[in-house]
Each structure stands twice: as C-alpha cells, then as structure tokens.
Structure 1
Amino acid sequence: MTDNTEHRSRSKLARFIAEHAAASGRTFQEVALAAGYSRASNIIRAFATDQAKVPLDRVAALADALRCSTVELFELSLERHFDQETFRRLRPLFFRDVTANERAWLTALKEVSGEGDPILDSDRAARLKTLFD
C-alpha cells in the first residue's frame, strides 16, 4: 500500500491530527507532552493512524497542543467514536450547521486578523461593510 493510499484510507480525524501536527512544527512526542500525556510514547501517532480513538475528555488539551480548532477536533472525534447513525443524531446537539463557505470566511478572518477569535468592533464592521456595498 502506498503512502497516498494509506493517507486516504485513514479517517478524517486521523488525517486532521497528522496534518495539524505537521503544521505545528512539533513532533508527535512534543504534541503529546503539550497535550498533557505524561507517557507520551506513541499516542499521537496512534491517533494519526487510527490505532486509537481520542478520548473526548482530552480533546481540548489536544486541540491546544495541535493549535487547531477545538470544535473541529471534537466533531471529528465524536464522529470516530460513534457509528454513522448515532453520530448523525448527536451532531445537532453539539454543532450548529456551518456551511463550507462560512468556514472559509471564518478561517480567512482569523488568518488576516492574526487572531484566533477576532473581535468585530465598529471599525472592522464598517470596513467589512464597504466590501459588500
């Protein structure tokens, strides 16, 4: 099996973790330690290869260590924990449906602002309004 085929066969969660770990500039060991795993041997590699599921109570710490969205990581983790029908029924309890376009806007806003949660003050709102006038 080629690396590309292996990459496609992994879950969305595994690919998400592997991609964010690589983008973080940290090794799997460093990510594990930053996420609070004291015996970090291969836990992040196990998550990134679907050999282990991310414990739901560790999602927030792992998201911080990966420098990624806690919401996205939690959603992908839930999806991995439950069968498709159960996840479909649970999803609305935790997540408001956000379209791909809305996610793209949010990502762009975070990138151009340089902030993880940019405040929409009156100046920024006025500048955004001019984009659509």
Structure 2
Amino acid sequence: MPRKGDRIRGNSPEIIQAARELRQRLTPAEVRLWNALKNRQINGFRFRCQHPVQGFVVDFYCPACCLVIEVDGSVHDSRGEYDTARTEKLETFGYRVLRFGNEEVMENLDKVVERIVEGLGFGGIG
C-alpha cells in the first residue's frame, strides 16, 4: 500500500522539505500569482504551489495538464543557462513550462493569466 509521501515520486526528502520551506517565503510576485491560481479559479484547474517535480521545486504546477509555471526575479538574470537546462529537463519528462518575470506578474497579471489559460490546453497526464 502506498504511503502518503509516495505521491511525489522521484523526489528526495530534501527536495520535499525545500518545497515546504519555499511555500513559507513566497516573493510578492509569487503571492500575487498564487492568489489568482489557488482554489481552482482558472477554469476549475487545481494548481500546487512550490511543488516538487522530478527532483526540482517548481513555483506552480497543474497536475491535470503537466503544466509548470515559473516566476523569475532578478536572481534568474545570472542563471539563464541553468534555467534553460532545467526547462529542457522538465520538458523531456513531458511537462510544459511557462516562465514569467516578476515585473510581468506585478504589472500585467491579466495577460499572465491569459497565457496560463492558453497553456492549460496543452493536455498530458498528471
């Protein structure tokens, strides 16, 4: 019989703990987007916040569509190669990744949500 923690396959206890800690320290842009995503507000789809996926902690994840959403702040300016490699790795596992900048989320949330709705049409298994 599966244990409660077995639903997050492919993740170490350290990754799961990191996700828990990150949920407690969301950036203002992540909080703003989370307030738009939580409670099935977007077409009834459920999103998870700071969720472990294949050894990574992603900002937001929709299991029904295998959709990963990342909100990138200035720290990502110097991590372009890492972020690209991470996105490519997630895509090889069948996830679709959408990236938004902090400014985009803070200044144009409606457009961000519109792009997420488009991304939900991707499909896949969750």
Q: Is TM (by shorter chain) over 0.5?
A: no
Larger fraction in helix: 1
Q: Higher Cα Rg: structure 1 or 2? A: 1
Larger fraction in strand: 2
TM-score of the pair, normalised by structure 1: 0.30
- Larger RCO (CA under 8 A, 6+ residues apart): 2
TM-score of the pair, normalised by structure 2: 0.31
